[in-house]
Amino acid sequence: MERPRELEKRMNVIRITIDLTVEDIEAAKAFYSDYLGLDGQDMGLDWVTRFVVPGSGEHLQLVSRDATAPENPRLTVKVDDVDGAYAEAIRRGYEVVHPLTTEPWGIRRFFVRAPDGTVLNIAQHSDT
């Protein structure tokens, strides 16, 4: 029996970041910072870098090849309860592409495939 909608706990999304797959991180960094004027944030990882739109706080991440997952996500969805989001994805029967994992660089995350095929990185950062 389906639970009434008002009884379902809604996921609290804090931020959504576009993850753009690129072949050459260094060349892409120059384009996005020098040409577009985005503020780069060093994440200390050689396979991903984040840019912020000055004034708006919107994010864009460039990803060459995810360090632990089998494929790159298209979006990162930062949430306040990644364990709850994972349990709900399993309950709904969604395909988990990368299991719930606490990564060495400080995030807890999993990848889920949306019904349209898009892979999303559902993550909770230590600053949440």
What is the residue extent of each domain of the chain? Answer: 9-125
Residue 1 pLDDT > 80:
no
What mean pLDDT do residues 63-92 have?
94
How many H-runs (helices) and E-runs (strands) does the chain carry? 2, 8
Candidates 97, 32, 19; CA nearest to 63 is: 19
Homologous superfamily of 9-125 in CATH?
Answer: 2,3-Dihydroxybiphenyl 1,2-Dioxygenase, domain 1 (3.10.180.10)
Higher-pLDDT residue of 97, 48? 97
Q: Name residue 33's amino acid.
A: S
The whole-angstrom separation of Cα 47 and Cα 115 is 27
Q: Dig out the tokens for 114 from the structure.
A: 């949306």
Residue 45 pLDDT > 60:
yes
- DSSP assignment letter at 5: G
Residue 9: its pLDDT value, please? 67
pTM of the model: 0.83
The whole-angstrom separation of Cα 108 and Cα 126 is 8
Residue 128 pLDDT > 70:
no
- Cα 97-27-20 angle, rounded to 5 deg: 25
* Pick from 7-16, 43-52, 80-89, 117-126: least confident: 7-16
